[in-house]
Amino acid sequence: MLLVKYFPWVCALVLATQSQGLFAQSHAQKNNFSALTQVVSSTTASALSASYLSSMVGGMGVFRWRIGEGNVQDHGLGGLTASAEESPWSVWGTPVRSSFDNNIAPITSRGYVSLAIAGLEYRDDGPWMGGLSLSVDSLSAQTTYNAGQLTGHGYTLAPYLVYQASPTRAFDFSYGRGVSNLSHQSTGVISQPRDQRMLASMGVTDIHEVGKSLLMLKASYSVISDKVASFTSSDGTVNDATSTRLNQTKLGGQWMYPIGNFSPFLAYYKLLNDFSATGGLLQPREYSATGQYQLGLNASAGDIFGALVAQYEKDRRQLRAYVGIRY
């Protein structure tokens, strides 16, 4: 009789407990989408820096067309081009394809980022050069978050300045902002967040001849910020706003050995990270200090230039391909 008397209360308690468990499980599915889109921001920042520093030895090749007529001059060892007979304005562009595999728990992902980068640049006979770049991005990734599929399309607008202190030494500064419209599908639920990114960096690049090889030393400091506003998924779940911010110091160098039309290179950089994240129940992580290894090959045939770079960090891998036309 005692069991019969309290049976409705026991059932209610069990149901309440199960409901709380289901709610907790559903709530735990909320993800930090800004952490997933950070790969687009970091790939864009790296490609932009390589693009506007491409005229220094060891940089990637980009198509560059100087407005006006006249002969292009080359100042020093692969220095930036300029000519008094031509307009100081030029345009440049390059496509970039990068695959990635991020295994830093609890938010892991793998996929690829495609970029189409173009810029309008001003350079006279002085040491200063500046321009405005536009990068259009496409993201496709598989995430561990319910084995979801994440896609996105966006752009980044970034002005930059380069001070070439000598034919082999340059200081660069850039600041950019952009957005990506995302679509995430998992277990029949569709989410369409919008990411807003900010990129800022400053660095110095110094090149030295070592016998028949070249040693390119680099030091830089960058800030990458991604913010996703709150949104509602197709099942009615309200997702809180999330954000990530990575302050990174990068120190290291690249050794390159030109052999005819090919230039294999090996690079090592020490990365010092100051990372923070807000929102979401799954908090992303970054190692405070890690090494970055790069193994790559620059190749050229006539005016065509290409580069393939394999990059490795602890629990993170990336493979990038560039192509361009020499100027």
Convert the pLDDT of each residue in 264-300 to its tens digit.
Answer: 999 999 999 999 999 877 778 899 999 999 999 888 7
pLDDT of residue 285: 86
Query: Is 158 within 8 Å of 48 (Cβ atoms)?
Result: yes
29 has a pLDDT exceeding 50 = no
Q: Which CATH class is domain 30-325?
A: mainly beta
- Residue 145 pLDDT class (50, 70, 90 cuts): low
Distances (CA, A) of 98 to 4, 126, 139, 307: 65, 35, 10, 12
Maximum mean pLDDT: which of 44-53, 175-184, 315-324: 175-184
Kindly state the tokens that stand for 159.
Answer: 């002005």
pLDDT of residue 219: 97
238-239 and 242-256 as β-strands: parallel, antiparallel, unpaired?
unpaired
27 has a pLDDT exceeding 80 = no
306 has a pLDDT exceeding 60 = yes
pLDDT of residue 55: 62
Work out the average pLDDT over 109-127.
Answer: 91
Residue type, 187: T
163 has a pLDDT exceeding 80 = yes
pLDDT of residue 89: 92
Specify the pTM: 0.81
Least reliable range by pLDDT among 84-93, 156-165, 222-231: 84-93
pLDDT of residue 312: 95
Within 10 angstroms of residue 4's Cβ, the number of other Cβ atoms is 7
Average pLDDT, the chain: 81
Percent of the chain's residues with pLDDT above 90: 52
Give residue-wise pLDDT tens across range 226-242.
999 999 999 998 888 99
Q: Tell me how far apart the alpha carbons of residues 37 and 99 are, in angstroms, rounded to a whole number.
A: 14
Q: Which neighbouring-strand residues pair with 190?
A: 185
More confidently predicted of 301 and 177 = 177
4 has a pLDDT exceeding 70 = no
Work out the average pLDDT over 206-225.
Answer: 94
Within 10 angstroms of residue 196's Cβ, the number of other Cβ atoms is 17
Query: Is 32 within 8 Å of 279 (Cβ atoms)?
Result: yes
List strand residue ranges (DSSP E) for 46-108, in order. Answer: 63-66, 73-74, 81-82, 89-102
46 has a pLDDT exceeding 70 = yes
What are the structural domain ranges in the chain?
A: 30-325
26 has a pLDDT exceeding 80 = no
The number of helices, as runs of H, and strands, as runs of E, in the chain is 2, 18
Work out the average pLDDT over 303-307.
Answer: 74
Tokens 């995302």 locate to 182
99 has a pLDDT exceeding 80 = yes
